[in-house]
Chains A and B, each alone.
Chain A
Amino acid sequence: MKTAVRYLLLVVVSVWTLAPVAWMVSLSFKGPTEWYAPYLIPNQPIIDNYVSLFIPTNPIGGSFFFTSITEPITRPLINSLIAAGLGTLLAVMVGFLAAYGVSRYRAGGTFIIFFTLLTRMLPGATFVAPLMVFYASIGFIDTYAALILLYAAVTLTYAIWLMKGFIDEIPPEWEEAALLEGASPWTVLRKVTIPLTKGGLAASALFIFILNWSEFLFALVISVTEVTTLPVQISKYVSAVGRMYGTMASVGLVATIPSLLLGYMIQKHLVTGFTFGRIR
């Protein structure tokens, strides 16, 4: 009896968790005539919704739609990959160095600890106005450089704390031994620390990539036409003239697939990541 109740509740929780995505998957394979129909399995499954993401003029389920979306998602997809990828690289490199300094040499003192945490606590929106002013005066609007810098800045806190945790796990004696042998701190970093934390570094990088991939506010502000990212393009689909539910669902799913793939790869580090290494 008790097991029956437990499984019943487990099923309820799973349905609640799966429902929105299941509905999106369903919509994305439905034609326009079925978008308003209350069932999951499409009568006539089609892939037109996905095709129309790449060829906007493509008819969906035989009928043409007039919307404000004229661009294929290829460009936003590539932009997202570039910005999130390079932003991650920057955050990991800068973050690793800082994390190592904080962990081994107490570099920066408590100031760094407070400051990096504070940047996480402040809403990104409060930086929008001055950032726009600043970046407009140095010609940074609508550039990859701005996106990459902002992405890195937003995720640096996560990078530092996550990687500090991994570095803390290595016994410092190993590095001290190398230092006593006369190696410079840089050689120790390259030959001892990095090889030992490789797994942790990879997990941190993937976690940060997921965050950068989802970043919306700064991408929305910085991009005009050139560096539109995938989340920004999704928001354009939502506000587009003509409600194309199926297409909206398919673009959302395309953006979700990389996050879930990478997310499940680093499943056991997720909690540590989201709590800045406070809980592991």
Chain B
Amino acid sequence: MMKTTNRLTQWVGKTESFKKLSTLPLSLVLNFVLIVPFAIMIFLSFTRWEPLSGYDWWHAPIAGIPRFVEAFGDARLLWALIRTTIFVAVVLPVEFLLGLGMALLFLGDFRGKKGFTSVILYPMMMPWVVVGLGFYLMFQFFGPVNLLLLRPLLGEGAVIDWFTNPVLAFVVVIIADVWQWTPLMFLIIYAGLAAVPKRLIEAAEVLGASSVRILRTVRLPLIKSLVVVALIIRALEAFKVFDIVYIMTGGGPGVNSTEVISLYVYNLAIVYHNTSYACAVSLLIMIAIALVTRLAIRPLEVRAE
């Protein structure tokens, strides 16, 4: 007994075994929350099973291929996908441009810079759910956006019932996301711009370039790789949007006019108990994202080294 413990402590103490042991806890956790569920997902997506089927999932009958085929003919899935893509496509440039504008606003020295920076960056620390809640309250019919902004600006009749209009409800979701994540873009772009060597700017100024031209030909090209990384990470995060939609609209108004992809999969699994179909859809989404990530991850890896 004594001997085995000794040998064990010796083995554990070696550098080679340390290398193996260091990632062991990680693989254990990943197994439990990722690999096993992933295996179950693949299995179930070939079956027809619901929690109410009356037998355990491992007895589920194989359904051939129809689960995936179903997904290809699923209009609701297609719409959720289109909606999420629109969301990402709108949110990304808006956050980038606003972040760039704010970064330019903050370049150089002025009084109260630290104070203003602290004020501006807090949204990204807030729980997503609370951000959703905040904008839900702001855009109520008797909320401040209607009563304090639209009515004084556009007159008595200009109040809008935001959350009953499919398009406007989606706009509110977009505004909430822009509100929360523009500060991150701002910080990234600002850090990049501030690191551009002063002599480059001065040289361009001496040559008589306008500040717009300096921005376009000197500053932006120098922070390009930084911006690409920020945009990729932001795009992949935005694609996962769930919390704010769930809180503000729950997918509504109407049948499912603001339902994004995460919410649809959640609904399939939790609300409709259509477990095996949810698995099939999840698997398709994962494959799609893994393919995109494989391409998108390259610029990330370059920076990692």
What is A's interface to B at a CB cutoff of 8 Å?
3, 6-7, 9-10, 13-14, 16-21, 23-24, 27, 35-36, 38, 90, 93-95, 97-98, 100-102, 105, 107-108, 112-115, 117-134, 136-137, 149-150, 152-153, 156, 160, 179, 184-186, 210, 213-214, 216-217, 220-221, 231, 234-235, 238-239, 245, 248-249, 252-253, 255-256, 259-260, 262-264, 267, 270-271, 274-276, 278-279
Contact = CB atoms under 8 A, between A and B. Distances in A.
A61 B33 CA distance: 46
B97 interface: no
A210 B179 contact: no
Contact of A129 (B20, B121, B122, B279): B279
A73 B275 CA distance: 32
Do most interface residues of chain A lie in helix, strand or loop, or is the interface mixed?
helix
B262 A124 contact: yes
A150 B33 CA distance: 6
A126 B140 CA distance: 31
Contacts of A134: 36-37, 40
Given A13-B120, A105-B15, A271-B184, A119 B29 contact: no
29 contacts: A10-B116, A23-B134, A38-B148, A94-B25, A94-B26, A97-B22, A107-B22, A123-B242, A123-B285, A124-B240, A125-B242, A125-B262, A126-B262, A129-B41, A129-B282, A130-B41, A132-B270, A137-B57, A156-B30, A185-B18, A214-B126, A231-B130, A234-B130, A248-B133, A249-B133, A256-B126, A260-B125, A263-B122, A279-B230
A134 B279 CA distance: 12
A132 B276 CA distance: 12
B293 A118 contact: yes
A185 B13 contact: yes
A270 B30 CA distance: 25
A153 B33 contact: yes
Contacts of A14: 116, 119-120
Contact of A130 (B40, B135, B230): B40
A131 to B, nearest CB: 5
Looking at A185, A248, A270, the one whose CB has the most chain B CB atoms below 10 A away is: A185
Contact of A238 (B44, B136, B282): B136
Nearest to A210: B125
Interface in B42-94: 44, 51, 56-57
A264 B268 CA distance: 39
Contacts of A256: 126-127, 130
A51 to B, nearest CB: 19
Looking at A90, A124, A126, the one whose CB has the most chain B CB atoms below 10 A away is: A126
A27 B134 CA distance: 11
Given A108-B23, A114-B297, A129-B268, 17 more contacts: A13-B120, A23-B144, A100-B22, A101-B23, A118-B293, A125-B263, A126-B285, A127-B41, A129-B278, A132-B270, A134-B40, A153-B29, A179-B15, A185-B13, A253-B130, A260-B122, A270-B124
Contacts of B144: 19, 23, 38
Contact of B137 (A27, A117, A152, A275): A27
A78 B125 CA distance: 20
B286 interface: yes
Contacts of B57: 133, 137
Nearest to A112: B23
Q: Would you list the 10 A-B pairs with minimal beta carbon distance, nearest first?
A: A101-B22, A263-B125, A38-B147, A20-B134, A214-B127, A184-B13, A125-B262, A129-B269, A126-B282, A129-B278
Looking at A101, A129, A134, A249, the one whose CB has the most chain B CB atoms below 10 A away is: A129
Contacts of B266: 125, 128, 217, 221
Contacts of B30: 115, 119, 153, 156
A245 B137 contact: yes
Contact of A216 (B123, B128, B134, B301): B128
